[in-house]
Amino acid sequence: MAMTDHPAVTVIVPCLNEEAALPALLDRLRAMRSRRPTRSWRFLFVDDGSTDGTFAALLRTARDESWIEVVRHHERLGLGAALRTGFAHATSPAVCTMDSGCTYPPERLPELTALLGHDAAIVTASGGYADIAAATASDPLALNRTMAPVYARLIGYDASALTCLLRAYDRRVIQRLRFRANGFSAVGEILLRALLAGYPVREVPMRGDASRADTTKLTTGDALRAHLYLLTLTTLAAGTRQIRHALGRRLS
């Protein structure tokens, strides 16, 4: 189903086999939207090849509620591919992303979008999970937190927000950035490429809830492969910064 007008904010929600979780998610989004002007917020659900009743449930909801749009991948292509599809369909000046499990509270998206402007082209949630201490060393979430200081050392940026999906973007930035990853690593790649291109990024400290994160869709092997890819990008970014710095000294 297509949107009939251009909202101020489009929120992209990638989904994979979320039939059981959809009712609670939709209730939260309805409550959030009711506190905003009727035509301001729209939600674009990207079904990434679900094999349960997710797509059918979303279509039924979209028929009755015009603030919802649904697009579908006929097979699972990955989180990055779902984001790319969502970005291609978004027409609003501000574009947000969130996970369907609400690991970070979607109710805080208005706070993120309000910060978009001259000093922030991307606003991202950052911080830890409330129960991260309970995570084991093999937990993908614990691995994400463990790797954050490595990125920070390489690129000189506090990268605790690197893997947070709850973000607000100026759509003009999304149109200019090109990211290649189709999987989980796309979330970090987008932020890294934005930083390398010189776009201002602002972080909003936020407590997440790891109990809401669906780690069954992200294995430790997936996380390791994603981080190897991101480490390659950060190493290249660090080298580029050093070359620019050296050239600047020679030309000054």
Q: Residue for token digits 């890819």?
A: 229
**Window from 47-51, 96-100, 186-190, 245-249 with minimum mean pLDDT:** 245-249
Beta bridge partners of 202: 123
- Does the pLDDT value for residue 251 go beyond 90? no
Residue 90 backbone dihedrals phi, psi, to 5 degrees: -80, 135
The pLDDT of residue 135: 44
Q: Which residue has the higher pLDDT, 248 or 189?
A: 189
Rounded Cα–Cα distance for residues 242 and 220 (Å) = 32
Asked if residue 21 lies in contact with residue 71, where contact means CB atoms within 8 angstroms, the answer is no
Asked if residue 223 lies in contact with residue 143, where contact means CB atoms within 8 angstroms, the answer is yes
Residue 48's pLDDT band (cuts 50, 70, 90): very high
CA–chain centroid gap for 186, Å, is 9
Terminal CA-CA length for the chain: 56
Identify the CA nearest to 172 among candidates 83, 92, 79.
92
Kindly report the pTM of this predicted structure.
0.81
Q: Tell me the HSE value of 105 on the side-chain side, using a 13 A CA sphere.
A: 11
Q: Which residue has the higher pLDDT, 117 or 215?
A: 117
Asked if residue 14 lies in contact with residue 71, where contact means CB atoms within 8 angstroms, the answer is no
The pLDDT of residue 131: 43
Identify the CA nearest to 21 among candidates 237, 212, 232.
212
The pLDDT of residue 133: 41
H or E element at residue 167 = strand 167-170
For 123-173, the pLDDT digits (tens) are 999 875 444 444 444 455 565 666 667 666 666 665 567 778 999 999 999
CATH topology of domain 9-251: Spore Coat Polysaccharide Biosynthesis Protein SpsA; Chain A (3.90.550)
Asked if residue 209 lies in contact with residue 130, where contact means CB atoms within 8 angstroms, the answer is yes
Asked if residue 86 lies in contact with residue 167, where contact means CB atoms within 8 angstroms, the answer is no
Report the 10 Å Cβ neighbour count for 82. 26
pLDDT averaged over the chain? 80
Rounded Cα–Cα distance for residues 108 and 188 (Å) = 20
The pLDDT of residue 177: 92
